[in-house]
Chain A
């Protein structure tokens, strides 16, 4: 029941984005007669402080946000898994050094480090993605390293090793496939957390810049005009909630489906 709801919400947003594209909703079209208007027949979700359609901006924002989340997750997963495999497979000094580096990254709580990187790199879409990538690989590295460490001594790996398999073959054919379901689940959660991080940074003015739409920046504007136009912040807030809940619920059901017992750390 809950699963259907979660996938339903995700499907709804996907459909909305596609329809928005089809009907060519313009997120940057300014209507000075409709500044901060409440929902109407023309603008279904009302207008923002420049009279732009909130619906069009939400749909544009979710597209950008998804783009950021997907590319950042792809980069961080590749880098993190590679580092984790190296550390877990070789052990010893390599492992020690790499884990010390991840410890340092983990010493910065929450998105503080991403804020710091975004601050020095300057605002903008590309810099935002760099900042999130620089901090996002750590969890994958940790996860992969722990798993590799225990898989390395499994009998099928030892058998392959004694048959003369090369290291890339050992890792690629005998270790990595066993990590797949775990990594898929981790990726779902990290999609959600990257989207939240992106929105947080945009909320602080460090992410996606005007005139591009971002849910974080919209929420900030919504707060600014809360007293005169509470519908703005409410609509953006509710949209955000529906999407985050749906992604998390989807991740949970995926985890149950793939039967991943290991909790991602």
Chain B
């Protein structure tokens, strides 16, 4: 456990360092890139001092860490607002989108996986498996436009983009949740098929339980552990997937903020967004690991 905490801390420190170093990768003078060549010398010096770029790299890193410790992400160069304010308005939108996507992923993936497992070897199983394997390879920037084309343009039943009506969330959430549901379908199928061969399932059947009870109360419960892990691990990729999905559907979340900040060369905002998404991913992974340990006594006790 101590080892886990230590490695968690190393990774967090590494993520912080790498994100910090990002701005030093800008070719030439980052201040000039951000403000444009026409900016006056005074303006440049002000920004340079504000970003701490006139100090030594070690000092800059210390300053960066101490600011972060006070939840100070700096100030946006473009809008002059503190970045923390931008994050406060954008992050909830991303979380909402990710959660709905998660619900879709679980709500579609798990039942479909159970269905495939129960029909194992039949054509239904084959169809579900092939479709989930092959379509999960398709990237969000393909799926999003295709869904948009079908549901918003041809059928006209859902909004094309934006976040004006409650139904606006459906298409981006589908785009985002689709990959998860495909992975969950496969996981659930494999996991359930394994469990169905166990002795306790035979016992349950021998007791005279209905097939429904055997599946829902006994088999699925035992098959749930790997499913939980996958959900946890995928939650992070969901957060990353929001960058593309939010851009396609003009969803005002952290991912779109990232892309906008890149277009405007607003590096402090870029830095903050990358850091935030990466840290969310690291934290979700650590929590999944913890949950997994708590849920399975075999792992908790170190067998």
Q: Are A and B subunits of one complex?
A: yes
Residue in B19, B27, B148 whose beta carbon sits within 8 Å of that of A121 in the complex: B27
**Minimal Cβ-Cβ distance residue in B for A248:** B137
B277 at the interface (CB under 8 A from A): yes
Which residues in B have some Cβ–Cβ distance to A below 8 Å? 7, 10-11, 14-15, 17-19, 22-23, 25-27, 33, 134, 137-142, 144-146, 148-149, 153-154, 160, 236-237, 239-241, 243-244, 247-248, 258-259, 262-263, 267, 270, 274, 277-278, 281-282
Give the distance to chain B from A163, nearest Cβ to Cβ, in Å. Answer: 38
Residue pair A204, B243 in contact (C-beta under 8 Å) = yes
Q: Is the interface of B mostly helix, strand, loop or mixed?
A: helix
CA distance A196 to B33 in the complex (A): 29
Question: Does B270 contact A230, Cβ atoms closer than 8 Å?
Answer: no
**Bound form: Cα–Cα A203–B27 in Å:** 23
Task: Report A's interface with B, CB cutoff 8 A.
Answer: 100-101, 103-105, 107-113, 115-117, 119-122, 192, 196, 199-200, 203-206, 216, 219-220, 222-223, 226-227, 230, 233-234, 237, 240-241, 244-245, 248-249
Evaluate contact between A200 and B244: CB separation under 8 angstroms.
Answer: yes
* A117–B14 CB distance below 8 A: no
A189 closest partner in B (C-beta)? B137
Q: Evaluate contact between B149 and A230: CB separation under 8 angstroms.
A: yes
For the complex, give the distance between the alpha carbons of A117 and B10 in Å. 21
A–B pairs, 11, beta carbons within 8 Å: A100-B11, A104-B14, A108-B15, A109-B239, A112-B274, A192-B137, A227-B153, A233-B149, A241-B138, A245-B134, A245-B137
A119 pairs with B270, CB closer than 8 A: yes
> Which residue of B is nearest A252, CB measured?
B133
Give bound CA distance, A30 to B17, whole Å. Answer: 47
How many angstroms between the C-alpha atoms of A184 and B258 in the bound complex?
35
**What's the minimum C-beta distance from A74 to chain B, rounded to whole angstroms?**
22
B244 touches A204 (CB 8 A): yes
Q: Which A-chain residue is minimally distant from B23 (CB atoms)?
A: A120
Partner of B240, one of A105, A112, A219, A222: A112
Q: A238 — nearest CB in chain B belongs to which residue?
A: B146
Distance of A118 from chain B, by nearest CB (Å): 8
A244 and B244 contact, CB distance less than 8 A: no
Expressed in whole angstroms, the Cα–Cα distance for A230 and B156 within the complex equals 13
Residues B26 and A101 in contact, CB atoms below 8 Å apart: no
